[in-house]
Amino acid sequence: MTDLDDEYVASARIPADVSKSDQVLGPLTARQTAILTVAGLLLYAGYWATRPFMAPLAYLALVAPIAVVVTVIAVGRRDGIGMDRLLLAAVRFHRTPKRRVPAPEGVRPLPALVPGAWRAQAGREPTALRMPCREVSDTGVLDLGHEGRSALAVCSTINFHLRTGGEQQALTEAFARWLNALTGPTQILVRAHRLDVAPLVDELTDEAPQLPHPALEQAALAHANFLDQLAAERDLLTRQVLLVAREPSPSGGARAGHRLTEATRALEGAEITVAALDAKATAHTFRLAADPDATPMGGA
């Protein structure tokens, strides 16, 4: 292999929206056509309803802004998502309670003796938190109810930019082969969470006296002191890459775990280590995702 081959990286064009709906009427999709058709029929019906007492030009001036807004909502897109979907998501977000608390038995209302001013200051009452996961099986599979089953694995990372062009090409090809072999819904989740260095500090402090040389002991204690001060002065964060395999069928728990095994073998070519999480690790990860400030479980 020549130096030129080491620096060569093949490129390929990928559509910005690979999941774009099919066009059924000119450049319009079925959803856009339905929105514009319904809006057009309503405006046409409004014209006939107001015709006896409103001039056509006056009605046109009245509905022109409405027609423009409907057209923008129907054909507009942002970040690959239609404006109508974004509008529905905004309405749903506005109507959804913002405060949710763990209360399986439901949230009790405030006592009647609480003054009205205090009620107004407290704002909207919280609602019970309904998690999508019902339980974690003994094998670490999440029960998502009617949404199916999912299994989690933690993935290692690689430094892509320090590789040569040929190495980058090989890593990309291995990762692409895994993507092409997917048989079900898969999510790659990169999350940042707080790093607790207390166990490492304790380990360094306990193991330092057992080191074979006093200089090594001093270095270990100095490093433990450095980590302790660093944690006290800063909010330390670390990143975790999770691979989530989901099966839509309620009986697909075994299949979800098998897909993680397939990913472990397939991603070896990309130098990525995939380790499936057991029941305890899955519950701990799910708990930290729901409450990042929670105290880590012992041994986790």
Blockwise average pLDDT, block size 10, the chain, 300 residues = 60 70 83 92 92 89 92 86 90 85 76 78 78 84 89 92 87 91 91 86 91 91 92 86 91 89 92 92 84 54
Indicate the residue type of 269. Answer: G
What is the DSSP secondary structure assignment for residue 234, as one 8-state letter?
S
Instruction: Using alpha carbons, select from 116, 123, 75 the residue that is nearest to residue 98.
Output: 123
Look-up of token digits 């292999």? 1
**Domain ranges across the chain:** 23-95, 135-290
- Within 10 Å of residue 279's Cβ, how many Cβ atoms? 14
Q: What is the dihedral of CA 261, 147, 250, 294, to 10 degrees?
A: 60
> What are residue 29's DSSP bridge partners?
23
* Vertex 10 angle, CA 4 and 16, to 5°: 155
CB 151 within 8 A of CB 276: yes
H-helix segments, 9-124: 30-50, 56-75, 83-95, 116-122
Q: How far is CA 108 from CA 105, 112, 146, 224, in A?
A: 9, 12, 28, 47
Strand-pairing partners, residue 188, are 243
Partnered with residue 245 across adjacent β-strands are 151, 186
Q: Is 106 helix (H, G, I), strand (E, B) or coil?
A: coil
Predicted local distance difference test score (pLDDT) of residue 8: 67
CB-side exposure of 259: number of CA atoms within 13 Å? 24
Count of alpha carbons within 13 Å of 274, Cβ hemisphere only?
25
**Measured between alpha carbons, how far is 54 from 167 in angstroms, rounded to an integer?**
72
* 3-class DSSP assignment, residue 78: strand
CA-to-CA distance for 227 and 5, rounded, in angstroms?
43
Tokens representing residue 81 in the block: 């998502």
Contact 25, 37 (CB under 8 A): no
Contact 217, 209 (CB under 8 A): yes
pLDDT the model gives residue 293:
67
**Residues 112-161: tens digit of each pLDDT:** 787 878 777 777 778 877 778 888 888 889 998 888 999 999 999 998 88
Q: What is the pLDDT of residue 7?
A: 66
